[in-house]
């Protein structure tokens, strides 16, 4: 990225920054696959929320390859990983007494957060 | 990290009540916080994920009792110190100067 000069501010703000990477990376999962999220508790940055750790879900779709934020935050290195929309039931996330057990929660999760399951 | 920012599933915060015609900024200093954060980001000494991590590193009790743009300013201050743009003394000095100006 070059120096941000006043004449470029409008353009840069309008465009925003994308974390998408134009890289060929093989995908471990595809839509319909059952997965289990890992139970990780890193002291660094992660985008796997606490309530979604060690939970069963189903891959809804593959968004493509994006910069893996956990490593990007730690070292600045841009490593490409597939990012999936993963579908969880409310009962899986919040337990048996949840008011609406069949409600669905979709969370965008990186491949290394996921284990094959089922 | 398992910080105060990871609020999903926590009880007791009450309902979310979106404001009608919510302004982009509620205070003039928030506009400046936003602008300074973006301007400093253009130095490329850190990336978006590093600035998120800096905000998450705020002391948990402080994080929960402060506003969105206060988190931004905290994160920016941390990064400016870490990368050597500013020293703690310079920040303290500037705060004292502003406090003195406001008294007069």
Domain ranges of chain A: 18-116
* Distance (Å) of CA B22 to CA A33, A117, B19, B31, B66: 41, 44, 5, 14, 19
Mean pLDDT of chain A: 93
Q: How far apart are CA A22 and CA A6, in angstroms?
A: 29
Q: Read off the pLDDT of residues A30-44 as tens digits, 9 standing for 90 and up.
A: 999 999 999 999 999
A-chain residue closest to B53, CA distance: A45
Structural domain harbouring B32: 28-103
In degrees to the nearest 10, what's the CA dihedral of B61, B66, B69, B75? -20
- A2 Cβ partners below 8 Å, 6+ apart? none
B39: contact with A, CB 8 A cutoff: yes
What tokens were used for A80?
């490409």
Number of domains in chain B: 1
A75 vs chain B: nearest CA distance in angstroms? 9
Mean pLDDT for B17-21 is 94
**Contact assessment for residue A87 and residue A104, using Cβ atoms and an 8 Å cutoff:** yes
Is B9 a member of any domain? no
Q: Read off the pLDDT of residues A73-84 as tens digits, 9 standing for 90 and up.
A: 999 999 999 999
Inspect the interface and report whether the beta carbons of A50 and B8 lie closer than 8 Å. Answer: yes
From chain A, pick out residues whose CB is under 8 angstroms from the CB of B39. 4
pTM of the shown model: 0.91
Mean pLDDT for B43-65 is 95
Mean pLDDT of chain B: 94
b/e B6-38 (16+ beta carbons within 10 angstroms → b): eeeeeeeeeeeeeeeeeeeeeeeebeebeeebe
Is B22 a member of any domain? no
Residue at token pair 């007069």: B104
**A24: pLDDT confidence band, cut at 50, 70 and 90?**
very high
Mean pLDDT for A47-53 is 97
B47: contact with A, CB 8 A cutoff: yes
Q: Please report, for the domain that includes residue B84, its CATH number.
A: 1.10.472.20
A18-116, CATH topology level: SH3 type barrels. (2.30.30)
pLDDT at A14: 83
Interface A-B: count of C-beta contacts within 8 A = 47
């Amino acid at each position: 990225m070059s120096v941000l000069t006043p004449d470029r501010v409008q353009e840069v703000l309008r465009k925003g920054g994308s974390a998408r990477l134009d890289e060929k990376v093989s995908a471990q999962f595809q839509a319909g696959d059952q997965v289990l999220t890992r139970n990780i508790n890193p002291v660094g940055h992660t985008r796997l929320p606490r309530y979604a750790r060690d939970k069963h879900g189903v891959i809804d779709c593959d968004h493509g390859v994006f910069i893996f934020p956990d490593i990007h935050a730690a070292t600045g290195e841009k490593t490409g990983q597939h990012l999936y929309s993963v579908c969880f039931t409310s009962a899986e996330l919040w337990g048996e007494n949840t008011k609406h057990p069949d409600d669905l929660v979709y969370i965008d999760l990186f491949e290394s957060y996921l284990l094959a399951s089922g | 990290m398992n910080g105060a920012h990871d609020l999903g599933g926590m009880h007791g915060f009450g309902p979310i009540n979106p404001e009608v015609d919510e302004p982009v900024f509620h205070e003039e200093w928030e506009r400046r916080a936003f602008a300074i954060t973006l301007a400093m980001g253009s130095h490329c000494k850190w990336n978006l994920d590093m600035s998120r991590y800096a905000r998450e590193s705020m002391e948990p009790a402080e994080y929960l009792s402060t506003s969105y743009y206060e988190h931004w300013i905290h994160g920016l201050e941390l990064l400016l110190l870490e990368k050597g743009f500013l020293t703690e003394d310079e920040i303290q000095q500037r705060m004292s100067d502003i406090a003195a100006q406001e008294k007069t």
